[in-house]
Structure 1
Amino acid sequence: MNLVKRLNEITRMHPEKNAYIFQNQPTTYGELGIYINRFAERLNQLGIKKGDHVALLLGNSPQFVISLYGSLKAGATVIPINPMYTQNEIEYILNNGDVKLVIALDKLLPLLEKLNERLPEFTQIIACPTPERELDIGQFPFLKEKTQTFTNMINEGNSKFEGPTLSDDDVAVILYTSGTTGKPKGAMLTHRNIYSNAMDTGLYLQMNHQDKVIATLPMFHVFCLTVALNAPLMTGATVIIVPKFSPSEIFQVVRNYKATVFAGVPTMYSFLLQYEVGKAGDLQSLRLCISGGASMPVALLQDFEKKFNVIISEGYGLSEASPVTCFNPLDRPRKPGSIGTNITNVVNKVVNELGEELPPGEVGELIVRGPNVMKGYYKMPEETSHTLRNGWLYTGDLAKMDEEGYFYIVDRKKDLIIVGGYNVYPREVEEVLYNHPDVVEAAVVGVPDPEFGEAVKAFVVKKNPDLTEGQLVDYCKEKLAKYKIPSLIEFLDELPKNTTGKILRRALKEQLVK
């Protein structure tokens, strides 16, 4: 079984049921099935064959849903990309991912025109209209010949298209996750991986066809992809697509549609709690709130639940595990501060450096096994062999387990910074800083931030005394996504190092505490 087959089953059983609602416009499962088949058949006409790589540069929208499922039905491997990424970041993923076709917002067409000559596999574009502006494709020579419109894709294709046979071990999605080397790694998730995690997560969270799930987390991120899109669709629920998070929008959506499930990162819950107009009864239709992406402060969890009288189930996951491995259970007591227990069919374990399981209460590395664990990293065999060992996925996160099987994250990966639920690896930011001609050395750490959990701080040794913080920030804006840009820069005469000359981030963090 896979996502495509399961969605076909839901479509046959409930053709008149709403699959999603977007900007007050509902689309039924029957209509969605037709759009997906037409889109898949048109991809086939454009030369997309089983195993070809297709990238999505889209925000939360019906176009994302149809493009995802249509591409999978055509047998393609889907690579979701944050449309807010810079040209350099997008170029690396398209090139490393051997992308043949890109489905993108039309406002990104100028960027894709620039990248055309440097990407050998890149041959086709499907342009999706951006509400605030529509570009004239005729002004781009390459795009004029190679671009199709999304509207034509879903209006002209064959609504009875069957598509190729999909195997469980075929790679369905490649999710690029930032690497400690500064280069993103493409986690290859098979059809078995993403289907099993959607079904097991939905089962664990007791999702059903009566649920109305709010999808305001970015769909290109694996948290939303599984928990707020695939899992609901696999159970016949209705997804309420919200393009951009805002407290007022969420309160309005819950009231208007009697939403039952909300998934967000801790920052979102903080904004909802602080929203002055929000009242205790505004979220009364919600039966469950889901939190992930970063650890939620216990005080925030308790204050939110007390005010709105709704349960928050905190969980844990990572791209390499499709992503969910743990959630606080709904049929047993929750434990604030815990990431919960094993979800259905997934096993978590805390081990020492030898891979030996540790007793409850002892801290070690969290490792995971299950049908959700990735096939490996795309074109990175050494990274794959380091992360996947003897059937286990080594997460790099330090954790402990209590006597009742609840897990607790003690620390994130050694240097990982979580900004509003997004992962930022210091090395990636440092490499950008090092490329500035006036920077001698740089080290990046995370610092507490009241709104986003953490913020990026850079310590810099400069060769030009006239170099300012503002100049460095402007430099970073050209090369990094917004959430990766340092919000604080401190200039030092030298950076702390060990006897071998390695920069000690730990010492910088200790200095911040003092």
Structure 2
Amino acid sequence: MNLSSQLYETAKRVPNKPAYYFMDQSSSYAELDGAVTKFASGLAKLGIKKGDHVALLLGNSPYFVIGMYGALRLGATVIPINPIYTSDEISYMLNNGDVKTVITLDLLVPLFEKAHHSLHKVENYIVCETKKDEQANVNVKEFSIFPKLKSFANVLSLGELTFRGPDLDEDDVAVILYTSGTTGKPKGAMLTHKNLYSNAKDISDYLQFNQNDRVITTLPMFHVFSLTVVLNAPLINGGTILIVPKFSPAEIFRLAKKYEPTVFAGVPTMFNYLYQHEDGRAEDLKSLRLCISGGASLPVALLKNFEEKFNVTISEGYGLSEASPVTCFNPLDRPRKPGSIGTSILHVENKVVNELGEEVAPGEVGELIVRGPNVMKGYYKMPEETAATIRNGWLYTGDMARMDEDGYFYIVDRKKDMVIVGGYNVYPREVEEVLYNHPDVVEVAVLGVPDPNLGEVVRAFVVSKNPHLTEKQLIEYCSNFLAKYKLPKSIEFIKELPKNTTGKILRRSLREKVLQKN
């Protein structure tokens, strides 16, 4: 079984059930599956074959769902790319990923016009129309790449409902996800049909997804967390997704009141914005049976505050692109442990090891490694990086973690983010948790900065709702909970922390800020 064939089976079982709502308009499973089939057929008529690479540069919309599932039904490999990346970032991924066809918004056509001299392998640009107004419309006929431009609507209309795609092997590469590239160039994680389907199925079983669920899909679909947890998992169960083009607390509360969703998934920043929203009330989210947090560690103080305000449980999990992505989640049938990423999900093993690859005792900190049907095939065209990351069937995550006596895992921090102060290890998350408990702190990020005497010291970047809060007051507060070497040497108050499109805090931007000052 794979995602495309499962969608076909679901459409036969519940043809008239809404598969999604977008801009308050619904589409049934029969309509969605028909559009997927026609789009796959239309791609085939353009000469796209099994194994060809198709990039998606789209936001959350039916275009993304139909484009991805249509390409998968044809047997093509899908490469989702963040549409707000720079021209250089996009060009690198398209060239490195040997992309033959790009599905994108009309607003991005000028970007491709500018970069097309370096994109020799791209044969087709399938253009999706944005909202029709004078500012949004782009006259694509003005561009030299016009012969390569095709309308998404036209490709769809050329397709045939009788189309039957090729047989798909479970080990065929379905998706290539480019990692954020915090060190060096981004790497393309190759995820097979088996990887994606098994993880969507296992996480949906673990979290008890069913066809009565209505899932808010506001996480960016090009990100693997969204792709598996709030797109693929609901669709393979016949659930309904509520597609939100862009995260907005006001829009989430509006949708919650109108459609009574049962599941919301977000990154910690989203939960913080919802908690801080002045018009948010507990009764607005009363239909939710579950909130899911991932993408980054959720501060315990925020978790407790959110749950108390809205009377809903947040289940925190863990994943990474190379694992399709989910490996751990707090279980629903056992106690949830605040601060924990939970236990291993079905069919996936997690363990904590030392530098020799030996499992450490419960409570000890080491590197988290993962094994299961969700682990990637490897990095595209990077055999050495693949060999360094996957060893003896285990995926080495680069995250420092510990496991308790009950088998619950806790992320301590990224291996590369650890701060070494005078030979002592300091994990930024430990300091961040203390700062988050201060009533005036809204957001915080901690990192290590160079120091001539100690090698490194701790610096905190804080967003505060109290303009009178001082650095001295916060450091004195921290001294009640942290050893002296763990205390921030300095605290900088800023209006907001830099984040990527998924809401993850960009520590790299903060480091660059420090280097520029020094």
The answer for the alignment partner of 2:60 in structure 1 is 60
The answer for the alignment partner of 1:358 in structure 2 is 360
Residue number among 243, 246, 251 corresponding to 2:245 in the alignment: 243
The answer for the alignment partner of 1:141 in structure 2 is 144
User: CA–CA distance in 2 between the matches of 1:95 and 1:277?
Assistant: 46
Q: Classify 1:449/1:108 alpha carbon distance in 2 versus 1 (closer, same or farther; 3 Å).
A: farther
For residues 32-431 of structure 1, the aligned pairs below 5 Å read 32-131=32-131, 133-142=136-145, 144-415=146-417
Q: Classify 1:492/1:318 alpha carbon distance in 2 versus 1 (closer, same or farther; 3 Å).
A: closer
User: CA–CA distance in 2 between the matches of 1:449 and 1:157?
Assistant: 53
SS at match of 2:417: coil
- Give the drift of 1:137: 1.3
Q: Relative to structure 2, which stretch is displaced further, 369-378 or 150-159?
A: 150-159
The answer for the alignment partner of 2:513 in structure 1 is 489
Asked whether the 8 Å contact 2:42–2:157 carries over to 1, the reply is no
- Give the drift of 1:155: 2.3
In the alignment, residue 96 of structure 1 is paired with which amino acid? N
User: CA–CA distance in 2 between the matches of 1:187 and 1:342?
Assistant: 22
Superposed CA deviations along residues 322-378 of structure 1, whole A, max 9, x for unmatched, are 000000000100000000000111010001111111111111110000000000000
In the alignment, residue 292 of structure 1 is paired with which amino acid? G
- Give the drift of 1:448: 3.8
User: CA–CA distance in 2 between the matches of 1:154 and 1:404?
Assistant: 52
Asked whether the 8 Å contact 1:176–1:184 carries over to 2, the reply is yes
SS at match of 2:150: strand
| Gaps in structure 2 of 5+ consecutive residues | 419-427, 430-444, 448-455, 465-499
Asked whether the 8 Å contact 2:263–2:291 carries over to 1, the reply is yes
Superposed CA deviations along residues 404-448 of structure 1, whole A, max 9, x for unmatched, are 000000112313999xxxxx9x9xxxxxxxxxxxxxxxx9x9854
TM-score normalized with structure 1 length: 0.83
Q: Classify 1:450/1:207 alpha carbon distance in 2 versus 1 (closer, same or farther; 3 Å).
A: farther
Q: Relative to structure 2, which stretch is displaced further, 154-163 or 285-294?
A: 154-163
SS at match of 2:307: helix
Q: Kindly tell me the number of residue pairs found equivalent between the two proteins.
A: 444
- Give the drift of 1:180: 4.8
- Give the drift of 1:120: 2.0
The answer for the alignment partner of 1:421 in structure 2 is none
Superposed CA deviations along residues 45-65 of structure 1, whole A, max 9, x for unmatched, are 111111110000000000000
User: CA–CA distance in 2 between the matches of 1:181 and 1:11?
Assistant: 43
User: CA–CA distance in 1 between the matches of 2:55 and 2:299?
Assistant: 35
In the alignment, residue 189 of structure 1 is paired with which amino acid? L
Asked whether the 8 Å contact 1:325–1:348 carries over to 2, the reply is yes
In the alignment, residue 304 of structure 2 is paired with which amino acid? Q
User: CA–CA distance in 2 between the matches of 1:320 and 1:224?
Assistant: 14
Asked whether the 8 Å contact 2:367–2:415 carries over to 1, the reply is no
SS at match of 1:299: helix
In the alignment, residue 149 of structure 1 is paired with which amino acid? S
Q: Relative to structure 2, which stretch is displaced further, 108-117 or 80-89?
A: 108-117
Q: Classify 1:449/1:381 alpha carbon distance in 2 versus 1 (closer, same or farther; 3 Å).
A: farther
User: CA–CA distance in 1 between the matches of 2:15 and 2:283?
Assistant: 33
User: CA–CA distance in 2 between the matches of 1:170 and 1:490?
Assistant: 44
User: CA–CA distance in 1 between the matches of 2:459 and 2:83?
Assistant: 24
- Please state if 1:2 is matched with 2:2: yes
SS at match of 1:183: coil
In the alignment, residue 45 of structure 1 is paired with which amino acid? K
Asked whether the 8 Å contact 2:331–2:343 carries over to 1, the reply is yes
- Give the drift of 1:158: 0.4
User: CA–CA distance in 1 between the matches of 2:517 and 2:19?
Assistant: 58
- Give the drift of 1:156: 2.5
- Give the drift of 1:178: 2.7
Q: Classify 1:67/1:411 alpha carbon distance in 2 versus 1 (closer, same or farther; 3 Å).
A: same
User: CA–CA distance in 2 between the matches of 1:9 and 1:261?
Assistant: 23
- Give the drift of 1:401: 0.3
User: CA–CA distance in 2 between the matches of 1:233 and 1:411?
Assistant: 33
Asked whether the 8 Å contact 2:179–2:186 carries over to 1, the reply is yes
- Give the drift of 1:161: 1.1
What is the aligned-residue identity percentage? 63
RMSD: 2.4
- Give the drift of 1:72: 0.4
- After the TM superposition, which parts of structure 1 deviate over 3 Å for at least 4 consecutive aligned residues? 415-418, 445-451, 481-488, 490-494
Q: Classify 1:247/1:41 alpha carbon distance in 2 versus 1 (closer, same or farther; 3 Å).
A: same
The answer for the alignment partner of 1:502 in structure 2 is none
The answer for the alignment partner of 2:481 in structure 1 is none
The answer for the alignment partner of 1:431 in structure 2 is none
Asked whether the 8 Å contact 1:34–1:160 carries over to 2, the reply is no
SS at match of 1:219: coil
- Give the drift of 1:134: 1.7
| Gaps in structure 1 of 5+ consecutive residues | 419-423, 427-442, 452-476, 495-514
In the alignment, residue 210 of structure 1 is paired with which amino acid? N
In the alignment, residue 135 of structure 1 is paired with which amino acid? V
In the alignment, residue 141 of structure 1 is paired with which amino acid? S
Asked whether the 8 Å contact 1:19–1:239 carries over to 2, the reply is yes
